[in-house]
Amino acid sequence: IGFTSYRPGESGVKTWQGTVGGTSSRCYNLQFRKSLSISTVWDGFDLGADIGNETDRPGDFPLAEYPVHQLPTNHLIDDLVSIGSLGVGIGMDGKGGYVSNILMQDCAGSGGLWYTYGKTFTNVSVIDTNTLNFNANQLYIQGDCIVNGLRLVGIKPTPSNGLIVDAPNTTISGITGNVD
């Protein structure tokens, strides 16, 4: 476990999102550990399972049981670093699992774009993201998650088209940093 992805043509790491040959090919219970993604053309780490407005998941959990972005992916994510991505630093969705010791820095878009539910995050660092001032938040968490330890450094809220942290359903504790 552990690798460096330098200047890939798309995402540094991308889990499959969708179907292949009429059958769902989503990923569950994966481990992402001790890895670095630098200068990606799009996202540093794209760990999503649902790409968007799904209508069906043939051979997999039905939408009636697990709505879009709420599949029980249950990934274990630890020690990931995304630096200089031209899209999102670390994107993910799904329900359950643990995320710890992650850093998103100098990303053109959001540092973290997380359509996640019931996940626990520990030691999250966001440093100078949304550098191109997109209509994006520095950190977005859609669902009912827990964040223990959030470090924000060098974030410049003005001028900005997005929020520093947009996580209305999430409990966050231990916020530190240097926000301009």
Phi, then psi, of 20 in degrees rounded to 5: -130, 125
The torsion defined by the Cα of 39, 117, 155 and 127, in degrees rounded to 10, comes to -40
* Cis peptide bond upstream of 168, omega within 30: no
In this structure, are residues 164 and 136 in contact, taking their beta carbons and an 8 Å threshold? no
User: Catalytic: which of 46, 50, 54, 60?
Assistant: 46
Q: Is 93 a catalytic residue?
A: no
Residue of 36, 156, 121 lying closest to 84 (CA atoms): 36
128 tagged catalytic: no
Cα 58 to Cα 22, 54, 66, 92: the distances in Å are 7, 11, 13, 21
Q: Which of 43, 50, 54, 93 is catalytic?
A: 43
Q: Is 46 a catalytic residue?
A: yes
Evaluate whether 159 touches 134 at the Cβ level (below 8 Å).
no
Give catalytic residue positions: 10, 43, 46
